[in-house]
Amino acid sequence: MNDEVMIRLENVSYEYKSYVDDSIQTAVNDVSLEIKKGEFLCILGHNGSGKSTMAKMMNGLLFPTSGQVTVMGINTRDEDKIWDIRSKAGMVFQNPDNQIVATIVEEDVAFGPENLGLPPGEIRRRVDEALEIVEMSEYKKHAPHLLSGGQKQRVAIAGILAMNPDCIIFDEPTAMLDPNGRIEVMGTIKKLNEVEGKTIVLITHYMEETVDADRIIVMNKGEIALQGTPREVFSQVDKVKGLGLDVPQVTELVYELRKEGINIKYDVLSVEELVDIL
């Protein structure tokens, strides 16, 4: 990780009109945030906390009502450069079925680079490389609807990777997957950060997925409620629970043990760690 800023949000707010009664709703309220190059950032929050809206503003799918969003120094409002921003900050969505365009895996992965107007030889190289990284090379001639949820989501990730982005924003990528698919996809995300050096913004409401992050941001009612490393955030068990979120089981167990007067350090994140201490 270095000091170069990948995405910067300056006093960003997002308001929209309610369908029900025309009242103005605030999804994101005056948030300032810097995401560094190579960082693994998790944004946590329960439904309606504004985390998805924030993600969509990071690659110009939505524009802030007030404030500025810049991606690698480019303002997302700059219409001429919107495609630069979208190819630099790729986005993976919740439902893998609804982001796969083509009827063959490799054709789908090629969709992004095709849109960028790259020569066929270069597209071929990128498609093969992207499928290699997500470990789906052997399925490249398959039809996507015959794959499992985790496999489909990895194809979707390959589709973004093939555009060669510096940053990938994941909008609840595991919410519709079974436990196995969740493990597969989380493995891929960690690999992208550690091996490929991509900046990762992971939006989720599963606490367990945030354990390996560099930094966690907890959103509540459109504002940043808590911020820090996983250890710092999870040690504040009461506060996290107050925001309607669960802490990882291990952390909760430690918390309960401490409440009963057993003196162990509070910031335990994994089962192995706790076993060692006990």
Binding positions for another protein, rule: CB under 8 A? 59, 61, 83, 86-87, 90-91, 93, 95, 97-104, 106-107, 110-120, 123-124, 127, 143-145, 156, 159-160, 163
Min dist CB 51 to another protein, Å, is 16
Task: Compare residues 146 and 183 and give the one whose CB is closer to another protein.
Answer: 146
Residue number, 38 or 112, with CB nearest to another protein: 112
Q: How far is the CB of 264 from another protein (least distance, A)?
A: 45
- Nearest CB to another protein, comparing residues 92 and 268: 92
Q: Least distance to another protein from the beta carbon of 235, Å?
A: 36
Question: What is the smallest separation between the CB atom of 84 and another protein, expressed in angstroms?
Answer: 9
Cβ proximity to another protein: between 113 and 222 the closer is 113
182/186 Cα distance (integer angstroms): 6
